[in-house]
Amino acid sequence: MKLGSLVLVLLSLSLIATIALLSSAIYTAGNTFSLEALSSFGVTIFLFILYRVYASSSYCPLCRGPVLGGSSAQRNRRAKRTFGSHRLRVACNIIFTNTFTCPYCNESTKCVVKERPKGGQVVKRRSTYRR
């Protein structure tokens, strides 16, 4: 989730930089600005592809809603936005506080990795089924 959040924030900043470089290239008709705008556009496309890959695997553990990806489900009426985006708010919260509030169920969740058994061994449980 953290990597997907970081890519989303970088994508937003890259999109703003691409628009600024493109508008300055059009205004000044300079070749250097147009080359920078083209390279910035390539970086933006690359970050968008990375974002879609990482966002497809980030879900709220309670409601299973895609917190970094889009959904046609209705968001909670108390869900807050950052710069008009629910996803950007979730991404900033994950990066800076390591928690997020789901925009669908409005529940706060900590981003914690579950511990694995030591030595990489799988613990087998005894079955209650007997023949």
Task: Find the helix or strand (DSSP H, E) in which 110 lies.
Answer: strand 108-110
Provide the percentage of residues in the chain whose pLDDT is more than 90: 4
pLDDT digits (tens, 9 = 90+) for 58-81: 777 778 777 777 776 777 777 777
d(CA 32, CA 54): 33
Helix axes 86-97, 2-28, angle to 10 degrees: 120
| DSSP 8-state code for residue 119 | G
| DSSP 8-state code for residue 57 | T
How high is the pLDDT of residue 21? 84
User: Are 86 and 79 spatial neighbours (Cβ–Cβ below 8 Å)?
Assistant: yes
Statement: residue 131 has pLDDT above 60: no
pLDDT digits (tens, 9 = 90+) for 18-62: 888 888 888 887 677 788 888 888 999 999 898 888 888 777 777
d(CA 54, CA 21): 27
How high is the pLDDT of residue 106? 78
Strand partners, 101: 108
